[in-house]
Amino acid sequence: MTGAYTVVERPSPNFDAREPDVPVDILVLHYTGMSSGEAALARLTDIEHQVSAHYIVEEDGRVYQLVDEAHRAWHAGVSYWRGHRNINARSVGIELVNPGHEYGYRPFPEIQMLVLEALALDILSRHPIPSRNVVGHSDVAPTRKEDPGELFDWRSLAAKGIGLWPERAARGSANVMDALSYIGYDTTDYARALAAFQRRFRPSDIHGVADPDTLCWLQGLVEVCDAAR
């Protein structure tokens, strides 16, 4: 099985212009959270809903492009990462078809992941997106969003050069707030930010409490971020 893919155009009216001086330096991954891929395509191309993404990847590996990467798609909403608030302005957004927590969350099929990897590598080749800025919707909107969720395999993605994956540090992080802020999270709601971190990097227990194991993973990610600068 390979991640070779073809892109089918399915234009959405839900986009506007990027600002000229803002780099495209973030990649945001989502799940659609709807009953089917077709339902998600309908919603993301409906002018009434005012939402979109640049791409949708179906569970069988089909890829639809809704918005040109040169334009701003409307996928992240109210969001924050590493000091920036308008994440749509500086990101490419990919939606993975999955029913999500509301409609029967399930694993992402291998073919969907392989195609995502190929698509993401192509996007990374076109824009100055550092590894630290490959994120989930839940990372940039931890109080509102859970996607792509705890079943998403960030580790294998990082092994292909897409995003970061930490080693678990031997000693835990000394200051959780500082660590989360440094990684990029909005820590206004500290427990939700920590839960977003757990959902992505230590998904065995997502409770927003700084247990010793979480602190070791947090410290591990800080060290990987240091090295990736």
What residues are annotated to the active site? 95
Question: Among the residues of 69-163, which ranges form H helices?
Answer: 100-103, 110-126, 137-140, 154-159
Please say whether the dihedral angle defined by the alpha carbons of residues 41, 153, 27 and 188, taken in this order, is positive or negative.
positive
Q: What is the gyration radius of the CA atoms in the chain, in angstroms?
A: 17
147/176 with CB nearer Zn ion: 147
* Residue bearing tokens 């957004």: 93
Residue numbers at the binding site for Zn ion (CB under 5 A): 30, 137, 147
CA distance 175 to 64: 42
Residue 39: CB minimum distance to Zn ion, A: 15
Shortest spacing between CB 29 and Zn ion, in angstroms: 8
- Nearest in space to 124 (alpha carbons), one of 94, 166, 89: 94
Q: Which pairing describes strands 7-9 and 91-96: parallel, antiparallel, or unpaired?
A: unpaired
For residue 81, the 8-state DSSP code is B
Minimum CB separation of residue 137 from Zn ion in Å reads: 3
Q: Which is nearer to Zn ion, 58 or 147 (CB)?
A: 147
Q: Which lies closer to Zn ion via its Cβ, residue 137 or residue 202?
A: 137
What 8-state DSSP symbol labels residue 169? P
Residue nearer to Zn ion on the CB measure, 69 or 146: 146
- Least Cβ distance, residue 32 to Zn ion (angstroms): 8
